Amino acid sequence: DAKTTQPPSMDCAEGRAANLPCNHSTISGNEYVYWYRQIHSQGPQYIIHGLKNNETNEMASLIITEDRKSSTLILPHATLRDTAVYYCIVRVLGSARQLTFGSGTQLTVLP
Amino acid sequence: GAVVSQHPSWVICKSGTSVKIECRSLDFQATTMFWYRQFPKQSLMLMATSNEGSKATYEQGVEKDKFLINHASLTLSTLTVTSAHPEDSSFYICSSRGSSYNSPLHFGNGTRLTVT
């Protein structure tokens, strides 16, 4: 799986959009970008994934650059419950292998 | 969507005893489950891959005789920490992919093990 780089921490005001960046400059053509988050003392939660088109679901939006070397996860209206560590992971769709977690970004939503 | 249930959510045991952690896939059949361990302020580290009907595959540095994995059915994998010591105190998390080819991996809510 391609390596990803994320900032170690970010703050966001409650109610504002949280934009979490991820660099994956060595991504291969058949690798997808996955986002997970881990709220303190819980297991990781799947958020969203995409290949090259922007994706949106009830939790977040995923914006992938045209060259696919970076992406941004957007939480449109952050709440205090969105405080968590966010992981950007690149892997082949349908891979039966485990997920490899980096350090992620600690997002703190401030009241 | 796919749901992975893990039990217990927390356990405290005395040094030298064994602890069993269960991981169930609730609405799909999981031929493969992954067991992770997470120490405070660190990321998740894969311990082993649990395969239904066959032996588990352990990551380098993980003692297979200490961390016994059983995956006897398509919906249940268990991790037994044998002869637990305080250094085994950690957050243990299981994971599995949903039933369809492109399902993302889903995770249990973890088990906080404290060995006294």
Contacts of B104 in chain A (CB under 8 A): 34, 46, 49
Q: Which residues of chain A have pLDDT under 70?
A: 1-2
Subunit contact A99:B34, Cβ cutoff 8 A:
yes
Half-sphere exposure of A96 (CA within 13 A, CB side): 7
Does pLDDT of B2 surpass 60? no
Q: Are B25 and B40 in contact (CB under 8 A)?
A: no
- Rounded to an integer, what is the distance from CA A56 to the centroid of its chain? 12
Q: How far apart are CA B113 and CA B38, in angstroms?
A: 11
Q: How far apart are CA B72 and CA B23, in angstroms?
A: 12
Q: Which among B23, B36, B41, B44 is the top mutation candidate for probing chain A, defined by the most A β-carbons within 10 Å of its own β-carbon?
A: B44
Q: How far apart are CA A104 and CA A100, in angstroms?
A: 11
Question: What is the reported pLDDT for A22?
Answer: 97
Q: Does A96 touch chain B (CB under 8 A)?
A: yes
Q: pLDDT tens digits for B12-36?
A: 999 999 999 999 988 778 888 999 9
Subunit contact B105:A45, Cβ cutoff 8 A:
no
Does pLDDT of B1 surpass 80? no
Question: What is the reported pLDDT for A2?
Answer: 67
Q: pLDDT tens digits for B56-107?
A: 999 999 999 999 999 888 899 999 999 999 999 999 999 987 666 677 888 9
Question: What is the reported pLDDT for A54?
Answer: 94
Question: What is the reported pLDDT for A88?
Answer: 96
Interface of A with B in 56-95 (CB under 8 A): 87, 93-94
Question: What is the reported pLDDT for B68?
Answer: 96
Question: What is the reported pLDDT for A1?
Answer: 63
Confidence at B109, pLDDT banded by 50, 70, 90: very high
Question: What is the reported pLDDT for A100?
Answer: 84
